[in-house]
Structure 1
Amino acid sequence: MDGIIFDIDGTLWDSTDPVAASWNQAIRENSSLDLTIDAGTLSGLFGKTMTEIGNILFPGMPEEEKERLLTICMEQENLYLEDHPGIFYNGVIETIKKLAEKYPLFIVSNCQCGYIEVTVRSGGLESYIRDHLCFGETQVPKGQTLRMLMDRNGLKDPVYVGDTQGDADACREAGIPFIFAEYGFGDVPDAERRIRSFSDLCGMFL
């Protein structure tokens, strides 16, 4: 194994409450929609691309207006998270620091540009995450984004840690092993490798 790649939402942290707050503010101030988003709604959407989330939350809205509102929501989200960060799961910060002593660590997410940077800064993890890539940069499915990150870092045999069936499918497309974070938002019944807490990765790889 020559690297570990992480998902963010449902794997490293839970940001559903602050993200819901930021999106609700953006929607109130920039649209006439009678819509309130809660953390439960977001937990079922995290893992999808931002385009998919926009289509689910704003069905029937003209594409140009949907794109405008989605962009505002994402920008508001990044700004809000700087002062109201998500909650890292138990053991995440300590485990990443330990794993980084032996392996190069990376992040791939279906999020917008800027979100990974906010997450990493919030945890003081800038010196431990070697590289990252997101849907906002690539505009392609996660399996392809994984391959792009692998190619530019010369990775031949990494693993990916995530929490949804979409993550598992992306790993299958990219041809790399998947480790299912059972404590996250999704369910992957057929996952062969699982962790019940993030710190389980120490026992698995150290």
Structure 2
Amino acid sequence: MVRSLPETVVFDLDGTLVDSSPDLTAALNVALDAVGRPAVDPVTVRHLVGHGARVLIERGLALSGGGDEDVIARALPAFLDYYRAHVADSSQPYPGAEAALDALAAAGTTLAICTNKPVALSRALIAALGWNGRFAANLGGDSLAVRKPDPAHLLATIAAAGGTVARTIYVGDTAVDVAAARAARVPVIVAGFGFADKPPAQLGGDAVIDHFDALIPTLTRLKGTVSHDAY
């Protein structure tokens, strides 16, 4: 039987499946306050996310003059402690995300998460959303010695989910995601509603979706144009 959908779909988490910007903003501002820095507005924070907690802190500090290792060492624990306790206070799946995940699972597609978020926090967010059991693999930014945009992070996620590169499509929202997918030779769909700091169409993905209602038709189209012989 010829499949109309890819065997495996790997997702980024923040800005792709979940709008976590309210809780990330709150945690960042707690961290900045801990080192005497001014708060950052939620719109700005959306464009700072994508490389993990430490880089988010560094980028937040850069908005008010930067910070050395001592400042980062004080700010980062404040961020992590607060965020662990408030990981899903206001974070919500994007409209249509759960329905799309359900449809993919019903079609026999294996789902996985590849995020630069620390894996414990990724798991906590997944659990808080009631999504335990949905994903065959969940690799965070500290699961390996490397993280996105290094392709090894995405490749390891595919392997952990029991998938193969030729039968996988990735869904992310930032240049980091596109770079990782390109280096791993995996087709990539850009979530146009996410946290990118430039227009989604300029990120270089194979397709852009503006709502999860478009995900399955886009996956079907891309699957028909790449690695067809693998199926």
> SS of 2:182's equivalent?
helix
Aligned pair partner of 2:57 in 54, 59, 76 = 54
Number of equivalences: 203
State the 1:139 CA deviation. 4.4
Query: Partner of 1:200 in structure 2?
Result: 214
In 2, the alpha carbon distance for the partners of 1:188 and 1:141 equals 24
The equivalent of 2:184 in structure 1 is 174
TM-score by length of 2: 0.79
- Deviation of 1:118 (Å): 2.6
Distance 2:162 2:23 in 1: 36
Paired amino acid for 1:116? S
Deviations 1:25-58 (A, max 9, x none): 3443x33x23202211210011123332232223
Matched, 1:162 2:172: yes
Question: Sequence identity of aligned pairs in percent?
Answer: 24
Tell me, which stretches of 5 or more residues in structure 2 are unaligned? 1-5, 221-231
2:169 touches 2:187 (CA, 8 Å); kept in 1?
yes
Match of 2:154 in 1: 146
TM-score by length of 1: 0.87
What is the letter of the counterpart of residue 154 of structure 1?
G
Q: Distance in 1 between matches of 2:157 and 2:91?
A: 25
4+ runs deviating over 4 angstroms: none
Structure 1 residues 8 and 152 mapped into 2: Cα distance closer, same or farther (>3 Å)?
closer
Question: 2 CA distance for matches of 1:144 and 1:39?
Answer: 31
Over aligned residue pairs, what C-alpha RMSD do you find? 2.0
Deviations, residues 169-189 of structure 1 (Å, cap 9, x unaligned): 110111211011112222242
- Shift in CA distance, 136/85, structure 1 to aligned 2, threshold 3 Å: farther
> Residue 28 of structure 2 contacts residue 60 of structure 2 at CA under 8 Å; is this kept in 1?
no
The 3-state SS of whatever aligns with 1:8 is coil
Map 1:75-94 → 2, pairs under 5 A: 75-82=81-88, 84-94=89-99
